[in-house]
Chain A
Amino acid sequence: MWEYTGKVLDHFRNPRNVGLLENPDGIGEVGSLACGDALKLTFKLGPDGRIADVKFQTFGCASAIASSSALTEMVKGKTLDEAAKITNQDIAEFLGGLPEQKMHCSVMGREALEAAIDNYRGGQGGKRVLAGKVVCNCFGVTEEEILRVVRENQLSTVEQVTHYTKAGGGCGKCKGDIQALLTRVAAEQLAAEQAAHARSPARKMTNLERIRLIEETLERNVRPALRQDGGDIQLVDVEGPRVRVALRGMCAGCQVSEFTLRDVVQSKLREFVNEDIVVEEAP
């Protein structure tokens, strides 16, 4: 059995606002029978521009029903701008948490809400249209959706992405693509961090942070270039400003290895980590 909170069980047993509103101002539909869960959300605005009434219909497990019910409670009385700010974590938190494998239920809630608001604002016809490149064909999850959930929930593994979006939970063929998206987000975040470091040189990194940053810089800014020529690089040791590395593959014993070390490795490390870095080749 899942470890559901009392609040999840309460909203499953006594769901609030079940049904469909007639002539709603906005309607949002996500999911499908094949996927195993689906949510249809309708709302009406009051004269003050706030959500006056909201109802849902859900096909799905206990936590899908509870997430939908929670969502309706959360949006009532909010303006659309306020409602649009609700994230899937907000829904999960409202319920006192969801098992990680069930986080996709909270994501479904957020998606239905967005679709309904879009519908009101004259966007799509209420049904969520898959925009952009589809990554997971089994569950129809797009690149855009995965990137968003990864960023909003700080996900770092393919398994987590599956728990949150279902992507990769079917045949599993897209797991490599999901990993690539995770790598892309990680690279963005690293670049942002590096930029932040560059802006605030006053803060001193710990040794651990420094070594990690060196590793990451080698991984993202050095290794791809070396690999193109059939080579590779390994971090051997870090001692103060001295970074000892070993060149591998085609790079080992290469005529221009000295050039590689100074003009590629050292310059990248100086750019992203610290100005005083000196790169040496490990014996």
Chain B
Amino acid sequence: MSRVIYLDNNATTMAAPEVVEAMRPFWNERYGNPSSMHAFGGQVHRDVESARARVAELIGADPGEIVFTSCGSESDNMAIRGAVEAFGRRVNVITSRVEHPAVLGPCQELAEHGVTVQHIPVDAAGQLDLVRLGEALREGPAVVSVMWVNNETGVIFPMDEIAAMVHAAGGLLHTDAVQAAGKIMIDLQRVPVDLLSLSGHKLHAPKGVGVLYIRRGTRIKPLLLGGHQEENRRAGTENVPYIVGLGRACELARAHLDDLPRLAAMRDRLEQGLLATCPDSSVNGDRHRRVATTLNISFEYIEGEAILYSLSDVGICASSGSACSSGSLEPSHVLRAMGVPFTAVHGSIRFSLSRYTTDEEIDYTLAALPPIVKRLRAMSPFVPK
């Protein structure tokens, strides 16, 4: 494959060159242990704390509220299990039908151990049903975990409203903000969630580092025991190079929030172009409350994996909600929860942009995709005559 048009940034992103550069000294020059009682380690401790401050700055938090983890999934697990355990399990869990598996997994495990778990539905545009959330909150104290931005559709949940509802009912709010960081403005002073998960590799830091924000005063039981690191909240020697990289990535993400209108324009051009050139196509998700970088579009009568392989043949990387591309037989639970018909779910493709996406790449994709759709439709038994 000679060239790669990478439009799968919701899956993972390229580590920014500045990030790679920032990490470089921490392998074999500044390799001290941040906990050591010598200046060599002490300097590294300051580097970790500086990274912590940069992460905090991106989301409007205090550095003391930032805990470094190994990934977004760990953060989600720690938040949900840790919060429920801190309640002695005498608490309900409320989540949504469109969460990432890293949230649905621990919720299911708690349900199997007798905790009441409710899954709040979404409407056809992928927006959370706040009436149902309100009803669920009236059933007793709850740990609520709903995502800020959906990974498949880019739909943004109204986190300020949700936070107000949850707190008015005396509940605790966790949000998986893995797809939100760097794509919308996050200010935790204004939107008072209690726990928030971030992942490094979704915002141009490397894979293998994440964050759990824990609002001061929030009780949570650690998952990993056996070390004083992260103020006793997560044992284990700090993954220093990655933490430093994440700090730099957050600093860059904050500086690049200005790019979002440009990215939205590119995404819209891709969307409008495909809708115009491919008949029987439709956009999934709330087009008015959606991050700038995501387009989820369905092509009727054809199947997503076949589209992905054809795109891959011409160097374009994307994702699909079809059953065959997921490795299971069930298509996207997100699109199904929105009531998108099976025919459209199987032919759904997600394009996700980053600040490295160029206009030329959008042009290339706009030229490459329509013939693929046409070719596959010529093979399909379902295209109406």
Contacts and interface: CB of A to CB of B under 8 A. Distances in A.
B322 A61 contact: yes
B329 A36 contact: yes
A178 interface: no
Interface in A1-53: 1, 9, 12-13, 15, 18, 29, 33-34, 36-40
B323 A36 contact: yes
Q: How many of chain A's residues touch chain B, expressed as a range?
A: 20 to 34
B301 to A, nearest CB: 7
Contacts of A39: 381
Interface stretch (A82-90, A162-170, A198-206): A162-170
B325 A61 contact: yes
B152 to A, nearest CB: 17
Nearest to B312: A1
B378 interface: yes
B218 interface: no
Q: Is the interface of A mostly helix, strand, loop or mixed?
A: mixed
B378 A101 contact: no
A40 B313 contact: no
Contacts, number: 73
B365 to A, nearest CB: 19
A162 B323 CA distance: 13
A259 interface: no
Given A33-B343, A65-B306, A58 B380 contact: yes
B115 interface: no
B31 interface: no
B379 A58 contact: yes
Contacts of A65: 306, 379
Interface string A132-148: 00000001000000000
Interface in B277-332: 301-306, 309, 312-313, 322-325, 327-331
Contacts of B378: 18
Nearest to B345: A36
B382 A59 contact: yes
A36 B346 contact: yes
B364 interface: no
B379 A33 contact: no
Nearest to A1: B312
A62 interface: yes
Nearest to B300: A33
Given A29-B381, A38-B382, A59-B382, A170 B306 contact: no
5 contacts: A15-B379, A36-B324, A39-B381, A64-B303, A64-B306
Ranked nearest first, the 3 interchain pairs of A and B with the lowest CB-CB distance are: A169-B329, A61-B324, A61-B305
Given A33-B301, A36-B331, 11 more contacts: A12-B309, A34-B343, A36-B322, A36-B323, A59-B380, A59-B381, A59-B382, A61-B304, A65-B379, A101-B327, A162-B329
